[in-house]
């Protein structure tokens, strides 16, 4: 344990008696609730099928981005397929199962779909085991489904090469974990007088400050925060992704965590930043809804046009935000067909007016949806 000065927040005598200036946060809280209410109201009006589509998009982003924050990139198709399997949604052909992807999906869905259930140590252990199904983080073997034991030294968040390593944070010693997690879980599961969005911000900070696992603490902290937000929305369907917004603001996210973890128990500044980030996430979800509505409008417009499975699959990829330009070679690769078959598919859609040649094709001809 660190001796001498009290460098970290958990060394404060009153930790974890959090304090914050509610009066200062109220204007931002009002904006967050107004934006949440507006988004939920719009989603209520679009029908179950479109709500499912929006939820699939948002949950896919949540799983992708909470991993990407930690520098790990998952495959979008594998994530979408894993979520669709678990929610019973028909999205056509499914990608093969990937147990690592499935583990992150299981954690995110358990946190949001079962937000009303009590959060226990056993449940957290299950999330952790799902994140690390092989028992390894990269090449390092870690304790899975159990609190860390600090056998390799104190838990530190570090960056930089070994010779110039910078310690951003050192977590409480392993000997304190049982007591500190018991205290956290008792608070998290108890009825709260405070605004549930405030609860989400404090829960996120509190859990990642305890840092109870060898690895995966950030992802689990974000899942805990999402669990609180799902409870605040009283809704198992998710229409905005905090993790996606945190990735956009990753440097600020880490800076604010480090600053707060080295500060006092007054967490007003952290909550102000967290609420701002949440507000931007909710406001950004309007683009998700617009994309869902545009996709529905597209298929309504072309409902009477016959298409084969390959054409439907590729058109849905374009509607979901195709990366780069669609060429006949990409069509053949994605649809797993020959170049000749891809050209026939494309020519058919050109003749029907569904696709047009892109004006900015460059060397190779590319195609886009008719506007």
Q: Which of 259, 294, 329 is the last residue of a domain?
A: 294
> What residues are paired with 369 via a beta bridge?
355
Q: Among the residues of the chain, which ranges form H helices?
A: 22-44, 48-68, 76-87, 99-113, 121-131, 177-189, 196-210, 217-233, 242-248, 250-261, 268-301, 309-319, 328-335, 339-352
Q: Is 211 a catalytic residue?
A: yes
* Percent of all residues in the chain with a pLDDT value above 70, rounded to a whole number: 98
Same domain, 109 and 255: yes
Residue 287 and residue 218 share a domain: yes
| pLDDT score for 5 | 65
Residues 280 and 271: their CA atoms lie apart, in Å, by 14
Q: Are 268 and 323 part of one and the same domain? A: no
Average of per-residue pLDDT across 134-138: 90
> Rounded mean pLDDT of the chain?
90
List helix spans (H) across 74-176.
76-87, 99-113, 121-131
Residue where a domain terminates, one of 294, 319, 341? 294
Residue located via tokens 């489904």: 145
Instruction: Indicate the annotated binding residues for ATP.
Output: 215-222, 253-254
Kindly indicate the confidence band of residue 361, based on its pLDDT and cuts at 50, 70 and 90.
low
On whether both 207 and 335 belong to a single domain, the answer is: no
Write a three-state SS string for 308-349: CHHHHHHHHHHHCCCCCCEEHHHHHHHHCCCHHHHHHHHHHH
Rg (CA), the chain: 23
pLDDT-derived band at 3, boundaries 50, 70, 90: very low
CA nearest neighbour of 129 among 215, 221, 229: 215
Show the domain range for 227: 9-294
CA distance 75 to 162: 31
The mean pLDDT value for 265-285 works out to 95
Per the model's pLDDT, the better-predicted residue between 269 and 36 turns out to be 269
Contacts of 195 (CB under 8 A, 6+ apart): 29
What distance, in Å, lies between the first and last C-alpha atoms of the chain?
63
Residue 362 has pLDDT above 70, yes or no: no
Q: Band of the pLDDT at 114, cuts 50, 70, 90?
A: very high
Q: What does DSSP say about strands 136-137 and 366-369: parallel, antiparallel, or unpaired?
A: unpaired
C-alpha to C-alpha distance for 24 and 29, rounded to whole angstroms: 10
Q: Establish if 154 belongs to a structural domain.
A: yes
For 344, left (φ over 0), alpha (ψ -120 to 50), or beta?
alpha
Catalytic residue, from 115, 168, 211, 234: name it. Answer: 211
For residue 74 the two structure tokens come to 């998952």
Count of other CB atoms within 10 angstroms of residue 130: 21
- Tell me, yes or no, whether 252 and 125 share the same domain: yes
Q: b/e for 42-74, b at 16 or more Cβ within 10 A?
A: bbeeeeeebbbbbbbbbbbbbbbbbbbbeeeeb
322 within a domain of the structure (yes/no): yes
Measure the CA–CA gap between 16 and 286, rounded to whole angstroms.
36
Residue 42: what pLDDT?
80
For residue 216, is it left (φ>0), alpha (ψ between -120 and 50) or beta? left
Q: Are 186 and 314 within one domain?
A: no
Question: Are 277 and 312 in a shared domain?
Answer: no
Q: How far apart are CA 245 and CA 278, in angstroms?
A: 8
**Percent of the chain at pLDDT above 90?**
64
Binning pLDDT at 50, 70 and 90, where does residue 149 land? very high
pTM (two decimals)? 0.82
Quick: pLDDT tens for 242-270: 999 999 999 999 999 999 999 999 999 99
Q: Tell me if 2 is assigned to some domain.
A: no
Q: What angle do CA 134, 137, 140 make, to 5 degrees?
A: 100
The stretch 350-362 carries a mean pLDDT of: 85
Provide the sign of the torsion angle of the four alpha carbons 103, 108, 114, 116, taken in this order. Answer: positive
> For position 100, which CATH number holds?
1.10.3290.10
- Interacting residues of 67 by C-beta distance below 8 A, sequence separation 6+: 73, 74, 104, 219
CA 110 to chain CA mean position, Å:
13
Number of domains in the chain: 2
N residues, the chain: 371
Same domain membership, residue 277 and residue 325 = no
Token reading at 346: 């494309």
Q: Are 101 and 75 in contact (CB under 8 A)?
A: yes
Cα 238 to Cα 299: distance, rounded to the nearest angstrom: 23
- Beta strands 166-170 and 156-159: pairing type? antiparallel
Q: Are residues 244 and 343 in the same domain?
A: no
Asked, for residue 256, whether it belongs to a domain, the answer is yes
Q: pLDDT class for 2, splitting at 50, 70, 90?
A: very low
Mark the binding-site residues, compressed into ranges. 215-222, 253-254
Instruction: Indicate if 333 and 281 belong to the same structural domain.
Output: no
Grade residue 192 by pLDDT with cuts at 50, 70 and 90: confident
């Amino acid at each position: 344990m660190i001796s001498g000065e009290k460098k970290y927040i958990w060394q404060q005598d009153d930790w974890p008696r959090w304090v914050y200036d509610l009066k200062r946060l109220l204007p931002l809280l009002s904006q967050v609730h107004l934006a949440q209410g507006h988004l939920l109201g719009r989603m209520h009006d679009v029908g179950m099928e479109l709500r499912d589509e929006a939820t699939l998009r948002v949950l896919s982003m949540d799983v992708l981005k909470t991993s990407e924050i930690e520098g790990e990139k998952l495959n979008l198709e594998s994530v979408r397929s894993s979520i669709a399997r678990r929610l019973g949604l028909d999205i056509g052909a499914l990608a093969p199962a990937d147990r690592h992807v499935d583990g992150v999906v299981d954690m995110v869905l358990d946190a949001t779909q079962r937000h009303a259930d009590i959060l226990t140590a056993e449940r957290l252990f299950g999330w952790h085991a799902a994140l690390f199904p092989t028992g390894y983080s990269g090449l390092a073997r870690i304790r899975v489904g159990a609190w860390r034991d600090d056998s390799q030294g104190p838990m530190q968040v570090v960056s930089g090469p070994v010779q110039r390593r910078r310690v951003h944070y050192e977590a409480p010693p392993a000997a304190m974990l049982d007591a500190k997690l018991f205290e956290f879980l008792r608070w998290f599961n108890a009825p709260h007088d405070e605004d549930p969005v405030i609860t989400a911000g404090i829960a996120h900070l509190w859990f990642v400050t305890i840092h109870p696992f060898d690895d995966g603490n950030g992802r689990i902290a974000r899942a805990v925060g999402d669990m609180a937000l799902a409870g605040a929305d009283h809704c198992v369907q998710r229409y905005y992704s905090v993790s996606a917004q945190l990735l956009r603001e990753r440097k600020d996210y880490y800076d604010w965590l480090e600053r707060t973890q080295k500060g006092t128990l007054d967490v007003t500044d952290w909550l102000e930043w967290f609420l701002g980030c949440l507000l931007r996430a909710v406001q950004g979800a309007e683009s998700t809804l617009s994309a869902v509505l545009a996709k529905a409008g597209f298929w309504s417009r072309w409902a009477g046009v016959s298409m084969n499975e390959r054409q439907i699959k590729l058109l849905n990829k374009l509607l979901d935000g195709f990366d780069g330009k669609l060429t006949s070679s990409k069509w053949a690769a994605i649809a797993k067909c020959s170049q000749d078959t891809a050209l026939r598919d494309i020519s058919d859609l050109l003749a029907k007016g569904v696709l047009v040649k892109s004006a900015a094709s460059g060397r190779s001809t590319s195609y886009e949806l008719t506007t």
